[in-house]
Amino acid sequence: MARQEALAIGIDIGTSGARAVAMRPDFSIAAHSAVSLERFGPNGRDPGVWWEAVGATLAELLKSIDRGAVRSIAVDGTSGTLLPVDSAGRPLAEPLMYNDKVAADAILAAVARAAPATSAALGATSGLAKALSFQRLPGVAAVLHQADWIAGQFSGRFDVSDENNALKTGYDVETRCWPDWIAATGMRMGLLPGVVRPGDVVGTIAARAAELFGLPRDVVVVAGTTDGCASFLATGAATVGDGVTALGSSLTIKILSDRPISAPRFGIYSHRLGDAYLAGGASNSGGKVLAQHFSLARIIELSAVIDPMTETGLDYYPLPATGERFPIADPALPPRLVPRPVDDADHLKAMLEGIAAIEALGYSRLAELGAPRLTSVRSVGGGAANPAWTAIRQRKLGVPFLPALSDEAAAGTARLALMGAGTAELL
């Protein structure tokens, strides 16, 4: 019997749960599923919990599709989360998560001496610092990123990573290799995985995984990416100058560039996507500061009476606390939220205007640093559903706002899986 239309599966393992998407070659979503990490235990940094959550969400997804139509699988994970494994891929210690800091001064000093000033491997939360802290464990055979290890459960390979996850561990995306300076930090280079491009096939599904999930043995496992890159890809943004703004608890902007942009002062590094680069920054402004002043219900109520086509004339810089990282790098920058109008609607409107102005300044800052001029914006996150805020942002940015095809990172990773199956191009 002939197979149905080919499907690719993208899996996203995040800080709170696992999600999976089955995607058709036209990028439409055939099915999706999600489970919470808490369902499998209180320790969200336990690799066993990660794998149980991935297995559960994949099993749920497969109930809704023809398993025989699956051609490929790819995985994304949190950027900068690492774990040491033995030769069989078994974890040897609790992972260090994306936001965990390495406290060993000698390790941080070694990286600071050897790394170029523009390297994403600098800093206490870098992947390289974590790799150095793991390399002396007895029996360690490799140091892997979260997505590498989950993908290894499918492929049986625990010696390969992708260019996006490897960036904060010191990988050079321009020369596409582990640079020589990493060895000068004392890192045992043999413990670092080989690196391939996101969307490259790393192997076929291992017999154990195929049997566990009832999948064909010719399913290919495809190199994935970080959760942030996956979220960008999910929107459908694919042309140089395309921007994606995430309006969550913080404000994050990313733009597709024809050249790498590096500005450590602002926390900006560039991931490589095909022959283009993804650059961006994150402001401390965003939904968190709004929530300090209004409930969600009140924001919805007030937004309905806001006229987004007029200006309050108030020059707010909304921050939840002192300190900003992008587009202004100033740990002492105070919030600016005065004068406070009597009318709550005017107060909210001034805050929305202020965050929109920060967004516009962010894209301008990226252009000053060498990124292309912004040509379009796609929006994701809770704030993207606010029509008044959207209209204010459109007025401030002055570029077309395009619909995001999806705001699920797993959908972006499914696009990579399609690429690996030979049914789509990355960009």
Can you tell me the distance from the alpha carbon of 26 to that of 233, in angstroms, rounded to the nearest whole number? 14
Residue range 146-156: average pLDDT? 98
Residue at 1 is within a domain:
no
Q: Choose among 374, 9, 393: nearest CA to 220.
A: 9
pLDDT of 152 over the 90 cut: yes
Can you tell me the distance from the alpha carbon of 23 to that of 69, in angstroms, rounded to the nearest whole number? 11
Residue range 121-130: average pLDDT? 95
pLDDT of 426 over the 80 cut: no
Residue at 320 is within a domain:
yes
If one compares 295 and 15, the residue with the highest pLDDT of the two is 295
The answer to whether residues 211 and 248 belong to one domain is no
The mean of the pLDDT values for the chain is: 95
Q: Residue 46: is it exposed, middle or buried by C-beta count within 10 angstroms (0-12/13-18/19+)?
A: middle
Which residue has tokens 């464990």?
137
How confident is the model over 18-59, as pLDDT tens digits?
999 999 999 999 999 999 999 998 888 999 999 999 999 999
The pLDDT-based confidence of 424 (bands split at 50, 70, 90) is low
pLDDT at 316: 98
The answer to whether residues 119 and 203 belong to one domain is yes
The pLDDT-based confidence of 421 (bands split at 50, 70, 90) is confident
pLDDT at 286: 95
Residue at 42 is within a domain:
yes
Residue at 309 is within a domain:
yes
The answer to whether residues 44 and 183 belong to one domain is yes
Q: Residue 341: is it exposed, middle or buried by C-beta count within 10 angstroms (0-12/13-18/19+)?
A: middle
Can you tell me the distance from the alpha carbon of 276 to that of 272, in angstroms, rounded to the nearest whole number? 6
pTM, to two decimals: 0.92
pLDDT of 312 over the 60 cut: yes
Residue at 427 is within a domain:
no
- Looking at the structure of the chain, the number of domains it has is 2
Counting other chains too, the contacts that 44-49 makes at CB distance below 8 Å and 24 or more residues apart are 44/15, 44/16, 45/94, 45/95, 45/97, 46/94, 47/83, 47/91, 47/95, 47/149
Residue at 402 is within a domain:
no
Name the residue range of residue 62's domain. Answer: 7-229+409-420
The pLDDT-based confidence of 343 (bands split at 50, 70, 90) is very high
pLDDT at 2: 42
